[in-house]
Structure 1
Amino acid sequence: MAFKELDTAGWQALDSAHYLHPFTDHANLAKTGSRVAVRGEGVYVWDNNGDRIIDGLSGLGCVNIGYGRPELAKAVYDQMLDLSYCQSFFNTTHRSAVELADTLTSMLPEGLNHVFFQSSGSEANETAVRLIRKYWDLVGRPEKRVIIARELAYHGSTHMAASLSGITPMHYAGGDLPLPGIARINTPYQYRHGANMTADDFGVVAARWLEDKILEIGPENVAAFFAEPAQSAGGAICPPMTYWPEVQRICRKYDVLLVADEVVCGFGRTGDWFGCYHYGFVPDIMQLGKGLTSGYLPLSACVISDRITDVLIGLGGEWAHGYTYSGHPACCAVALENIRILREEKIVENAKAELVPYFKAKLETFVDHPLIGDVRSVGLMGGLEIVKDKKTGESYLYEEHIGPYCSAEAMKRGLAFRANGDTMSLMPPLVITKDQLDTVFDIAREALDATAKHLGKM
């Protein structure tokens, strides 16, 4: 087939015939046709029709340094010429994986000194669960099996990662989910669970839901608490600053491992290099991904504390776990170059100083919009929650698909604006400019106004 001769309709037909997409209603997609992306540069993506879209989502919260950086392409090219692939089994290593592991551990809190590489956040979370269960077995406490996670969490789509996730439609996708051994608590979602409290008071109250659950199950049975520093797919749920220090205190009190899924929050999303720095806590295990390579190649990391690795190495014998692409040379090379660019151009620091306050202020101008019940953000992650009744906080029914309607209105105008339920989420690249943010928010307002008119609210 002469693919170069295909027009948009031709690509859409082939897509519909052969390509199954993630988290997609394929019957509806067949009616509308896919958007065919062809090029990206900076904060923009162009489609097959020549339309330019400003990416308000950094892909899926991953393209932190923007599209089209030639330095990353060159890093991959150079690495592939030297060593295109190297397995990490059979007592074999290679330089880019070792250098990246050393680089990452030098950036993270003291005591997080070992790294295990995978290709995706889901795989990193699977690795974390294997480590948790193996650790408690090796120290002679196999009864500590239960992992506590949160409502509206997102940890990935593999069996265990989906089980840890608290987005219930994922549990109906097949596979008898969730798997056993998972308990759940409410998320620190102040708009829904603590609207009449101060943020500081609510943070402590929400953290103590974890303590209540530990005591209900029995501390002797609880292995770990598993959570994102701030929840992106749950709808930009950003806990108060008092939340994580209290969670850490509770985990230490009851000897429960603290696991931070930083797949989204890592590499600048919260305004600091990592969410644990922003919120002031130190995990026992941390998962990284997305911003690790700015999405240029698939790579994730599970970073492990000395407490766990000392036992695993000293008592564990063979660590019978791994992946064909663990520590892939090209992926590690692009991660190293991505981190170099972030550091040398001070992208995270500049975003924190210049963009984060501007982003927050622009978000807060939507407080008076007739559809918006809550505005929330941390760093360059923000959410505008659409409600049916601003006074009561009543939501629209899921079946009304108001968030997706608003998202489609934004896309018509050239903005990728994600609907997490009825929370409209933004996670722009860390290299976006203030002028580009003005465009993002102008289009977001137009899309919300169009949605309000559709609902008879304007």
Structure 2
Amino acid sequence: MPTLAVMNEENVTKGQSSGSSLHGPSTKEGADDLQTKSAVLHRSLKHDPLRVVSAEGHYLRLSNGQNIFDATGGAAVACLGHGNKRVRQAVMEQMDRVSYCHSLFYGTAAAEGLAKLLTASTDGEMVRAFFISSGSEAVEAALKLARQYHLEQKPSQPERKHFIARQQSYHGTTLGALAVGGHVARREMFEPILSINSSRVSPCFAYRGLRTVLEHESAYVRRLEAELEAEFQRVGPNTVAAFIAEPVVGAALGCVPAAKGYFQAVRRVCDKHGALLIFDEVMCGAGRIGPEPTERFSNPLHAWQDPLIGVAPDIMAMGKGLGAGYMPIAAMLANKKVIEALQHGTGAFSHGQTYQGHPLACQAALEVQRIIADDDLVANVRKQGVLLGSLLREKLSTHPAVGDIRGKGLFWAIEFVSNKATKEPFESTEAVAMGVHELGMQDPYNISIYPGTGTVDGRRGDHVILAPAYNINEIDVRHVVDVTDQVVKQFFRKYTDMSLKTRLVNGSW
């Protein structure tokens, strides 16, 4: 018998949508438009998505009349929710000034203001910012800057062309970012055209990385440090340009915080061999994990400022929460060491794009960051994040299909397993994470829960992510958890493959 996820797609194919399915033609508002096959190259060519006709606060109104609670902000993007009037007004005012100018010839107050705000937020660790349109582009720029840094050093080190990342990592979908990342499924089709100048070590993933329940976290960190050192030695320490990692892993593993001391160990290895450290904060940055204040960073914004991370990168990438989805924007920031190498060399970063430093995008992001600061939203992320995590564990930690609940701030994931004792994942063909997402999108749940796959080995392993807006309140947090709890329990209750039921242990159906 098919799983629920497959059954949903079959219903859509037969045209049985009544507004309770994620895909297919609508019978309500906007139905006439959707009866014709879309001209857009959507994520899927097998069905057209329902259309969003309006959005406000935490809710998306769909073309079939549903109001969906956006518990993920898309992909951890809409950190202020939808329809923020301050951002809209800021963009309109910028449009009255200038909507576009070419960054080769001109600068704007919007780009300058955003750059100064972001560099100031690092207490001088980062000294320059480069603005592009997506996280993938930010990572591409970071890789190119790392390479150029080594060429511009005195003496030049042209042999440094290798990048080390981590398995089950994702750093973007452009060819350079895809090549350095370790997302097996997304790499597979394009392997023949990807750069071979990269390799990967184990992620810092305590749930699956600890050898036994008795292994201490510090011993685990030492083991990972030794593995990284061995990889440097294998490829040749003087050939490594940089190590790249997400401080808190996002979609690839599902909101995995690093073990205490891990990034200090990584920094030791990089510094020992003259390699740069790149942090990909596209998903986990801009306040998303609610970094804890320290004596130095009383109002932290970046994930690396949290004591859990404890080290600053040489280059970092930002995205998603930077502009909250109001405009396409991402950023690459670099420290003084890197910038000075270029200043004393060619005097320029050998990279540029048409929409680099786009005035409307920069102004939107600048206003988003001002709102986050003015409303003290990172503090709210910390507060509501504690509640979100504790409620998820209270409701779901004993469920037979829930292996782990993890996260930080407003960035939490639930990993599903077919056997809690062995942590055995479901097979990828069973589409568990997508099935949970699709059920959540149906009446009476009406909630968006972000699905992720490949958690275990790049192919197998399912998790879902919750990443609501920073201005969420306690009532809405409880709503998100209550509905998520209902969706998860209903999904596995109605799961139609009886062979799977027999594999689930430590619980009853």
Q: What TM bracket, shorter-length normalisation?
A: over 0.9
1:246 alignment partner in structure 2: 265
Is the partner of 1:298 in helix, strand or coil?
A: coil
Is the partner of 1:315 in helix, strand or coil?
A: coil
Q: Which of 350, 359, 366 is the matching residue for 2:380?
A: 350
Alignment partners' CA distance in 1, 2:72 and 2:221: 27
Please report how far the alpha carbon of residue 447 of structure 1 lies from its aligned counterpart in structure 2 after TM superposition.
1.4
Please report how far the alpha carbon of residue 432 of structure 1 lies from its aligned counterpart in structure 2 after TM superposition.
1.2
CA contact (8 A) 2:142 2:332 kept: yes
Alignment partners' CA distance in 1, 2:211 and 2:439: 30
1:264 alignment partner in structure 2: 283
Is the partner of 2:61 in helix, strand or coil?
A: strand
CA 10–157 in structure 1, closer or farther in 2 if over 3 Å, else same: farther
2:388 alignment partner in structure 1: 359
CA displacement 1:279-338 (0-9 Å, x = unmatched): 211100011111111110011111011111111122024433101111111111111111
2:118 alignment partner in structure 1: 104
CA 12–167 in structure 1, closer or farther in 2 if over 3 Å, else same: farther
Amino acid at match of 1:363: L
Q: Which of 202, 214, 230 is the matching residue for 2:248?
A: 230
2:5 alignment partner in structure 1: none
Amino acid at match of 1:399: T
CA 303–318 in structure 1, closer or farther in 2 if over 3 Å, else same: closer
1:20 alignment partner in structure 2: 41
Please report how far the alpha carbon of residue 95 of structure 1 lies from its aligned counterpart in structure 2 after TM superposition.
1.1
Gaps of 5+ in 1: none
2:175 alignment partner in structure 1: 159
CA contact (8 A) 1:155 1:165 kept: yes
CA contact (8 A) 2:342 2:348 kept: no
Please state if 1:69 is matched with 2:123.
Answer: no
Alignment partners' CA distance in 1, 2:270 and 2:400: 41
Q: Which of 140, 146, 159 is the matching residue for 1:126?
A: 140
1:281 alignment partner in structure 2: 311
Alignment partners' CA distance in 1, 2:168 and 2:32: 38
Please report how far the alpha carbon of residue 13 of structure 1 lies from its aligned counterpart in structure 2 after TM superposition.
4.1
Alignment partners' CA distance in 2, 1:66 and 1:204: 41
Please state if 1:395 is matched with 2:413.
Answer: no
What does residue range 3-18 of structure 1 map to in structure 2 within 5 Å?
A: 7-14=29-36, 16-18=37-39
Please report how far the alpha carbon of residue 198 of structure 1 lies from its aligned counterpart in structure 2 after TM superposition.
3.3
Residues paired across the two proteins, number: 445
CA 10–161 in structure 1, closer or farther in 2 if over 3 Å, else same: farther
Structure 1's consecutive aligned runs of 4 or more residues displaced over 4 angstroms after TM superposition are none
Please state if 1:82 is matched with 2:97.
Answer: yes
Is the partner of 2:101 in helix, strand or coil?
A: coil
Amino acid at match of 1:178: L
Alignment partners' CA distance in 1, 2:348 and 2:276: 22
Alignment partners' CA distance in 2, 1:172 and 1:289: 25
Please state if 1:418 is matched with 2:450.
Answer: yes
CA contact (8 A) 1:403 1:419 kept: yes
Alignment partners' CA distance in 2, 1:330 and 1:200: 46
Gaps of 5+ in 2: 1-26, 292-300, 454-461, 502-508
Q: Which of 334, 340, 351 is the matching residue for 1:321?
A: 351
CA contact (8 A) 2:388 2:478 kept: no
Amino acid at match of 1:315: G
Alignment partners' CA distance in 1, 2:385 and 2:221: 22
Please state if 1:144 is matched with 2:160.
Answer: yes
Identical aligned residues as a percent: 30
Alignment partners' CA distance in 2, 1:216 and 1:130: 23
Alignment partners' CA distance in 2, 1:275 and 1:318: 28
Alignment partners' CA distance in 2, 1:55 and 1:148: 35
Please state if 1:444 is matched with 2:484.
Answer: yes
CA 358–88 in structure 1, closer or farther in 2 if over 3 Å, else same: same
CA 13–220 in structure 1, closer or farther in 2 if over 3 Å, else same: farther
Amino acid at match of 1:57: T
2:232 alignment partner in structure 1: 214
Of Structure 1 and Structure 2, the greater helix share is in 1
1:192 alignment partner in structure 2: 208
2:197 alignment partner in structure 1: 181
Please report how far the alpha carbon of residue 390 of structure 1 lies from its aligned counterpart in structure 2 after TM superposition.
0.9
CA contact (8 A) 1:147 1:182 kept: yes
Please report how far the alpha carbon of residue 80 of structure 1 lies from its aligned counterpart in structure 2 after TM superposition.
0.6
Stretch deviating more after TM superposition (224-233 or 105-114): 105-114
CA displacement 1:357-405 (0-9 Å, x = unmatched): 1011012122101110111112211111111111111111101111111
Please report how far the alpha carbon of residue 136 of structure 1 lies from its aligned counterpart in structure 2 after TM superposition.
1.1
Alignment partners' CA distance in 2, 1:37 and 1:329: 26
Please report how far the alpha carbon of residue 253 of structure 1 lies from its aligned counterpart in structure 2 after TM superposition.
1.7
Please report how far the alpha carbon of residue 83 of structure 1 lies from its aligned counterpart in structure 2 after TM superposition.
1.1
Amino acid at match of 2:341: V
Alignment partners' CA distance in 1, 2:164 and 2:256: 18
Is the partner of 1:225 in helix, strand or coil?
A: strand
Q: Which of 467, 471, 483 is the matching residue for 1:427?
A: 467
Please report how far the alpha carbon of residue 175 of structure 1 lies from its aligned counterpart in structure 2 after TM superposition.
6.6
TM-score by length of 1: 0.93
Alignment partners' CA distance in 2, 1:224 and 1:415: 40
Alignment partners' CA distance in 2, 1:138 and 1:238: 34
Please report how far the alpha carbon of residue 205 of structure 1 lies from its aligned counterpart in structure 2 after TM superposition.
2.8
CA 204–432 in structure 1, closer or farther in 2 if over 3 Å, else same: farther
CA contact (8 A) 1:150 1:166 kept: yes
Alignment partners' CA distance in 2, 1:6 and 1:452: 30
